[in-house]
Amino acid sequence: MRHALTLALALLPAAAGSAAPAVTAIKAGRLLDVAHEKVLENVVIVVENGRVKEVGTTVPAGASVIDLGKHYVLPGFIDAHTHVLLQGDATAEDYDAQLLKESLPYRALRATKAMRIALDHGFTTLRDIGNEGGGFADVDLKHAVEAGVITGPRLFVATKALAPTGAYGLSGYDWQISVPKGVEMCDGPDACRRAVRDQISHGADWIKVYADRSYYRQPDGQIRSLPNFTLEEMTAIVDQAHRTRRKVAAHSMTPSGHQIALAAGVDSIEHGDVFDDATVAAMVKNKTYWCPTLTVTDFVAGPRSVTNPIWSELQAAVKDSFRRAHRAGVAIVLGTDAGGFDWDKLNQAEEFKRYVALGMTPWQALATGTVTAASMLGQEGALGTIAPGARADIVALSEDPLKDITATERVSFVMKDGVVVRTP
Ligand SMILES: [Zn+2]
């Protein structure tokens, strides 16, 4: 009998951190209802089985109580553009060194640290949008979190990402040696469909495409780029993904890429630094989401401009694009490109203050990293909100983010799926 009991206990899923008690009641001094832009005072959030059961005023009998009476309580943050398998690539040398000198097991170990940092900063969900030569290791990381093997944010993964031959690093090496590539390369509609099918069969939640590269200024002063895929290839990729109920995110920096990506029907534009009026109009009309990734743009502008000044010109251009896109009503989703900057150098929550500096209200900025991101992920009601039925992903701040948005950079409490992973 004793043996059987031990065995039964051993078979319980190893919960990350401490296991969630049956019923938890969180006393929230101020609950920020981001969807309705309302502050609810002195409410009780009842959590059961990893989900919010009720938002009311009574503590159920027998519930364990968490007192956040002096805190500002919000839904867990979502960063919709990250690379957990990358640890900063301010320059091509930084990037190449990781792919050439670090084994995939070592990169996965570093990813677990990156994920822990994100969670400590209040990011309970990441859309990890390309693993930079990491095979399908991002699928493993996602499963490791779900199984409680490691403690980290929930991941939506894009696996290998797609670019045509010659359009992505590593490049510039002796042609006699073969070097790893940071993406899967495909050419022609059929081969690209096959690549999409293969990535989905191995666990891709999203398909990531690189729509353009090599940014330059034309004689007329406009910044443009080299488009990667043809419209036929891009259309095949999007059609194949949508047939399997997966969405497509397009790295696209100028209208040279936007035109093809938007015509093919991608679901989100990543970076998007240079928007012309036609791009903004098409994004509003098609309800294409935009991840501006301003944090990485500021991070790489200095080091990359040493060899190519276009990077500081892009930094200026994206600010203008942001103001125009926001005014026009483009659905903006918080995305930082963490991994493009070192996880331990910057806090992803810095992205919020960049949006406020460019004209968003604090409420609007908070929505980008909660409700709007959840909507892009097809997780309305489950993520990015504290309401009955939602996953119990909850963060608390000791200062009011509506008065000072940088309060989001000083998270003092984090719960994910009903389990406390950081305490004040
Ligand atoms: Zn990226």
Tell me the CA–centroid distance for residue 335 and ligand 1, in Å.
Answer: 9
- Compute the distance from residue 211 Cα to the ligand 1 centre, in Å: 12
Gap from CA of 111 to ligand 1 centroid (Å): 15
Span from the CA of 301 to the centroid of ligand 1 (angstroms): 15
Tokens of 143: 């499963």
Q: How far is the CA of 404 from the centre of ligand 1 (A)?
A: 28
pLDDT at 424: 83
| Confidence at residue 20, expressed as pLDDT on a 0 to 100 scale | 64
Distance (angstroms) between ligand 1 centre and the Cα of 336 equals 8
* Span from the CA of 252 to the centroid of ligand 1 (angstroms): 10
> How many A from CA of 10 to the centre of ligand 1?
40
Distance from the alpha carbon of residue 129 to the mean position of ligand 1, in angstroms: 6
- Helical ranges in 102-224 per DSSP H: 104-120, 137-146, 189-201
Could you tell me the distance, in angstroms and rounded to a whole number, from the CA of residue 296 to the centre of ligand 1?
9
Expressed in angstroms and rounded, the spacing between residue 7 Cα and the centre of ligand 1 is 44
Crossing angle for the helix pair 231-243 and 255-264, to the nearest 10 degrees: 40
> Residue 409 gets which letter from DSSP?
G
Residue keyed to tokens 């990358």: 86
pLDDT (0 to 100) of residue 186: 98
Tell me, in angstroms, the distance from the centre of ligand 1 to residue 83's CA: 6
Report the separation in Å between the CA atom of 81 and the middle of ligand 1, taken as the mean of its atom positions.
6
Contact 242, 265 (CB under 8 A): yes
Per DSSP bridges, beta strands 206-210 and 247-252 are parallel
CA distance 87 to 339: 5
Report pLDDT for 190: 98
CB 27 within 8 A of CB 47: no
Sign of CA dihedral 155, 384, 77, 357: positive
Distance 21 CA to ligand 1 centre (A): 37
Neighbouring CB atoms inside 10 A of 181's CB total 18
- Spatial strand order in the sheet of 411-416: 51-56, 38-48, 23-33, 64-75, 394-397, 411-416, 419-422
In the reported structure, the alpha carbon of residue 15 is separated from the centroid of ligand 1 by a whole-number distance in angstroms of: 31
pLDDT per residue of the chain (424 residues) written in tens, 0 to 9:
444 333 333 333 444 445 666 999 999 999 999 999 999 999 999 999 999 999 999 999 999 999 999 999 999 999 999 999 999 998 889 999 999 999 999 999 999 999 999 999 999 999 999 999 999 999 999 999 999 999 999 999 999 999 999 999 999 999 999 999 999 999 999 999 999 999 999 999 999 999 999 999 999 999 999 999 999 999 999 999 999 999 999 999 999 999 999 999 999 999 999 999 999 999 999 999 999 999 999 999 989 999 999 999 999 999 999 999 999 999 999 999 999 999 999 999 999 999 999 999 999 999 999 999 999 999 999 999 999 999 999 999 999 999 999 999 999 999 999 999 999 8
pLDDT of residue 18: 55
CA 84 to centroid of ligand 1, rounded, Å = 10
| Ligand 1 centre distance from Cα of residue 293 (Å) | 8
CA of 333 to the centre of ligand 1 (A): 14
With H, G, I as helix, E, B as strand and everything else as coil, classify residue 259: helix
Distance, CA 131 to ligand 1 centroid (Å)? Answer: 9
CA 357 to ligand 1 centroid distance, Å: 22
Q: From ligand 1's centre to the CA of 153, what distance in Å?
A: 18
Distance, in Å, from the CA atom of 210 to the CA atom of 235, rounded to the nearest integer, reads 13
Segments in 90-188 forming alpha helices (H): 92-101, 104-120, 137-146
d(CA 411, CA 406): 10
Query: What's this model's pTM, rounded to 2 decimal places?
Result: 0.94
Ligand 1 centroid – CA 115 distance (Å):
16
* Separation of CA 18 and ligand 1 centre (Å): 33
Centre of ligand 1 to C-alpha 410, Å, is 24
Distance 417 CA to ligand 1 centre (A): 27
For residue 423, report the distance from its CA to the centre of ligand 1, in Å.
Answer: 30
**CA–centroid distance, residue 173 to ligand 1 (Å):** 23
- In angstroms, what is the span from residue 90 Cα to ligand 1's centroid? 12
Q: Which of 286, 300, 298, 306 is nearest to 238 (CA)?
A: 286
Helix segments in 227-273, DSSP class H: 231-243, 255-264
